[in-house]
Amino acid sequence: MIHPCQKCGACCAYFRVSFHWSETLPESFSVPIALTETISPHTLAMRGTNQPEPYCQALVGVVGENIKCDIYENRPEPCRTFLPSFEDGFQNDRCDQARLNKGLVALSLSDWV
Ligand code: SF4
Ligand code: SF4
């Protein structure tokens, strides 16, 4: 089964992805600094997501078709904790919202069997 996120990427092109600057450190996730922008003294955002029509610059491929995160091993905490709907058995309204915005139907339990 292809993981639904590999055919989606909607959340990476819909929300601002912000996190503490320390996540760029080697002892944390080593988020590449060049792919971030500063939004406050202590907070960074993934470059491209702090704009009216967000689109993370680490996103490679076509949203809704074939997509991947180019820094998957080094992605920040918000990306690690954002679960697709029903992967853990629970609906994620924000996943649904992002998918609907991109013209995709929300995930259901049947997407995980
Ligand atoms: S860092 Fe990767 S997972 Fe996070 S928003 Fe960007 S493309 Fe998506
Ligand atoms: S919107 Fe949901 S299904 Fe799409 S990539 Fe994000 S978590 Fe995965």
- How many angstroms is it from 93 CA to the middle of ligand 1? 18
Say how many C-beta atoms besides its own lie within 10 A of residue 62's C-beta.
10
Ligand 1, pocket residues at CB < 6 Å: 12, 17, 46, 56, 58-59, 69, 71, 75, 79
Contact 71/31 with Cβ under 8 angstroms? yes
pTM of the model as a whole: 0.96
- How many angstroms is it from 58 CA to the middle of ligand 1? 6
Which residues, listed in sequence order, are joined to residue 19 by a DSSP beta bridge? 44
Task: Read off the pLDDT of residues 52-71 as tens digits, 9 standing for 90 and up.
Answer: 999 999 999 999 999 999 99
How big is the CA angle at 41 (ends 24 and 68), to the nearest 5 degrees? 35
Question: Closest ligand to 17 CA?
Answer: 1
Q: What DSSP designation does 56 have? A: -
- How many angstroms is it from 32 CA to the middle of ligand 2? 22
Task: Read off the pLDDT of residues 17-64 as tens digits, 9 standing for 90 and up.
Answer: 999 999 999 999 999 999 999 999 999 999 999 999 999 999 999 999
Domain ranges of the chain: 4-112
What SS3 state is found at 75?
coil
95 lines ligand 2 (CB under 6 A): yes
